[in-house]
């Protein structure tokens, strides 16, 4: 059985934000194909403390693990970027300890594959690894910085420089990797067009949805004013901040009625100041589903977006009528007008939302069609089927593997004392098996000790 080294820029557990949702499902799927080893960063000590729960959730399929709390200051990372001509996106994630861990793991004969999640982690993979190397860029980050630069402002020149340096890095990585993955065909096509590399090596691997968890019948709606217009997302993420501020300023005033609920953790002051008789700012919530269930309309008014928007897929799975911009809809395999509405500009968005509020029967039909589409096309097990052929040595592809035997069973292993686990920056695993949110705890570890894969309480 192959060993697989999994590298991620953020610990892939709990799956409570966009990047962790994808990385967790991929890690779990790979753990059904072979023993996985993990090197990743954590945002802080509380984030790193999720490692024992991750180990438990994988049911004994996680081997060695190195989790490092990322403490690099932006000013120091910027100085390194200037001195080395590297992208700031890389210097923010520099780590001699992860470099040494990866070097040691790649020397092990049993490690035959490397899966790198997010471009920042590619800097730790040698130029010509012995192992098969799959690079999951997820999004084309250089294009995101181009979009930032296009917005003008005092940081435009910096964003433009970052986009140029980052694309050169992305292209170099893709030229070395055995396969490069993107979250949508649109992202993959954009990269193919710009990179001028062998087309077969650049592929799309889309996100999925836990359709059982995102079941509209599974939760009671949140107590909120009606009619309710909901946006879900990680609220310290700039494209989400931009979308919400613009929607509140331009679209909401055009609506004759309705309360706008902004549901997501870490809202900055600019978002908190929106709170009023027509705007609710929730901050972090233990479970996003009650807010989706309460929504008369879910909006995704993003003006800058890359890849697949989980927030749109989750709302569709909850049978909610969705109004999304073209940018937020990009890459989603659904039919506008049947499964959701696509509208750009404040007038068009307000018109689409108002029609749904005025005609609840049509809104319900749109939501039901959305749910059917997700059930048909977006189950995680279907979406991740190509991973075996991409990651495993040819001799193992087509074998039964261990997925059925191990997938999802939680053991009672005292993983906090596992000698194969290492922590950086003084993070201790002792007593850290519980999750920070009681809502997440109860959903990620329900009786009878079987893990409900991919059930995340907060959207990104």
Decide which of 324, 344, 377 is a domain's last residue: 377
- Chain centroid to Cα 428, Å, comes to 26
Query: How much is the average pLDDT of 20-36?
Result: 96
- Residue 76's pLDDT is 78
Query: How much is the average pLDDT of 263-272?
Result: 97
For 139-155, b where at least 16 C-beta lie within 10 A, e where not — what string?
A: bbbbbbbbbbbeeeeee
Whether residue 396 sits in one domain with residue 372: no
- Paired tokens of 367: 């939501």
pLDDT in tens, 7-21: 999 999 999 888 999
- Residue 395's pLDDT is 60
Decide which of 335, 350, 377 is a domain's last residue: 377
Whether residue 393 sits in one domain with residue 354: no
Question: How many beta carbons lie within 10 A of that of residue 237, not counting itself?
Answer: 15
The 8-class DSSP code of residue 263 comes to E
Contact present, 388 and 397 (Cβ < 8 Å): yes
Does residue 342 belong to any structural domain of this protein?
Answer: yes
Whether residue 346 sits in one domain with residue 328: yes
3-state secondary structure of 265: coil
- Residue 84: pLDDT band with limits 50, 70, 90: confident
Report the alpha-carbon distance of residue 42 to residue 44 in Å, rounded: 6
Does residue 458 belong to any structural domain of this protein?
Answer: no
Whether residue 341 sits in one domain with residue 418: no
The HSE-up count of residue 38 (CA atoms within 13 Å, CB side) is: 32
Whether residue 176 sits in one domain with residue 282: no
Top pLDDT among 90 and 352 is at 352
- Residue 78's pLDDT is 78
For residue 393, the domain's CATH number is 3.40.50.2000
Report the largest interatomic distance among the alpha carbons of the chain, rounded to a whole angstrom.
66
Query: How much is the average pLDDT of 285-302?
Result: 98
Q: Which helix (H) or strand (E) holds 44?
A: none
Contact present, 171 and 197 (Cβ < 8 Å): yes
Residue 132 structural domain:
3-208+380-444
The HSE-up count of residue 448 (CA atoms within 13 Å, CB side) is: 0
Whether residue 66 sits in one domain with residue 147: yes
Does residue 405 belong to any structural domain of this protein?
Answer: yes
Whether residue 172 sits in one domain with residue 241: no
- Residue 408: pLDDT band with limits 50, 70, 90: very low
- Chain centroid to Cα 426, Å, comes to 27
- Residue 261's pLDDT is 99
Does residue 459 belong to any structural domain of this protein?
Answer: no
- Residue 396's pLDDT is 63
Whether residue 197 sits in one domain with residue 143: yes
Does residue 256 belong to any structural domain of this protein?
Answer: yes
Decide which of 377, 403, 427 is a domain's last residue: 377
Share of the chain above pLDDT 70, in %: 85
Does residue 454 belong to any structural domain of this protein?
Answer: no
Of 276, 328, 270, 282, give the one whose Cα is nearest residue 302.
328
Whether residue 300 sits in one domain with residue 288: yes
264 φ, ψ (degrees, to nearest 5): 170, 155
Does residue 257 belong to any structural domain of this protein?
Answer: yes
Number of domains in the chain: 2
- Residue 230: pLDDT band with limits 50, 70, 90: very high
- Residue 422's pLDDT is 63
Whether residue 182 sits in one domain with residue 55: yes
Whether residue 346 sits in one domain with residue 309: yes
Q: Which helix (H) or strand (E) holds 89?
A: helix 88-91
Task: Report if pTM > 0.85.
Answer: no
- DSSP secondary structure string for all residues of 110-142: TEEEEEEESGGGGGGS-SS-SSEEEEEEES-HH
Does residue 365 belong to any structural domain of this protein?
Answer: yes
Whether residue 414 sits in one domain with residue 349: no
* Residue 365, CA distances (Å) to 326, 332, 398 in order: 21, 19, 41
């Amino acid at each position: 059985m192959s060993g697989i080294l999994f590298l991620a820029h953020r610990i892939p557990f709990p799956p409570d934000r966009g990047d962790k949702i994808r990385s967790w499902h991929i890690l779990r799927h790979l753990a059904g194909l072979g023993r996985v080893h993990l090197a990743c960063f954590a945002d802080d000590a509380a984030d790193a403390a999720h490692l024992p729960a991750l180990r438990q959730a994988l049911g004994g399929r996680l081997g060695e693990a190195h989790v490092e709390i990322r403490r690099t200051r932006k000013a120091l990372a910027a100085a390194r970027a200037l001195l080395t001509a590297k992208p700031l996106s890389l210097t923010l994630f520099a780590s001699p300890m992860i470099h040494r861990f990866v070097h040691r793991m790649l020397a092990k004969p049993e490690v035959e594959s490397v899966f790198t999640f997010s471009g920042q982690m590619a800097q730790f993979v040698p130029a010509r690894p012995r192992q098969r190397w799959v690079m999951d860029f997820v999004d084309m980050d250089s294009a995101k910085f181009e979009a930032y630069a296009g917005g003008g402002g005092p940081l435009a020149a910096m964003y433009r420089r970052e986009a140029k340096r980052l694309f050169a890095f992305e292209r170099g990585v893709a030229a070395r990797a055995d396969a490069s993955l993107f979250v949508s065909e649109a992202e993959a096509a954009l990269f193919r067009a710009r990179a001028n590399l062998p087309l077969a090596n650049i592929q799309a691997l889309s996100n999925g949805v836990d359709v059982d968890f995102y079941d509209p019948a599974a939760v009671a709606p949140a107590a909120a004013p009606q009619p309710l217009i909901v946006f879900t997302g990680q609220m310290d993420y700039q494209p989400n901040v931009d979308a919400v501020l613009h929607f509140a300023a331009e679209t909401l005033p055009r609506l004759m009625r309705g309360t706008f609920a902004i549901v997501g953790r870490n809202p900055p002051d600019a978002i908190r100041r929106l709170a009023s008789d027509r705007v609710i700012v929730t901050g972090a919530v233990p479970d996003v589903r009650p807010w989706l269930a309460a929504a008369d309309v879910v909006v995704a008014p993003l003006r800058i977006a890359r890849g697949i928007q989980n927030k749109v897929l989750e709302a569709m799975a909850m049978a909610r009528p969705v109004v999304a911009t073209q940018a937020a809809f990009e890459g989603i395999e659904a039919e506008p007008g049947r499964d959701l509405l696509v509208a750009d500009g404040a007038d068009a968005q307000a018109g689409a939302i108002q029609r749904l509020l005025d005609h609840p029967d049509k809104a319900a039909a749109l939501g039901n069609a959305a749910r059917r589409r997700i059930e048909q096309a977006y189950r995680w097990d279907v979406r991740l089927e190509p991973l075996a052929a991409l990651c495993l040595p040819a001799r193992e592809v087509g074998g039964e593997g261990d997925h059925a035997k191990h997938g999802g069973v939680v053991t009672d292993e005292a993983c906090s004392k596992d000698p194969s686990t290492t922590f950086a920056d003084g993070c201790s695993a002792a007593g850290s098996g519980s999750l920070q949110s009681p809502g997440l705890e109860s959903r990620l570890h329900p009786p009878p000790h079987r893990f409900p894969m991919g059930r995340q309480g907060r959207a990104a």
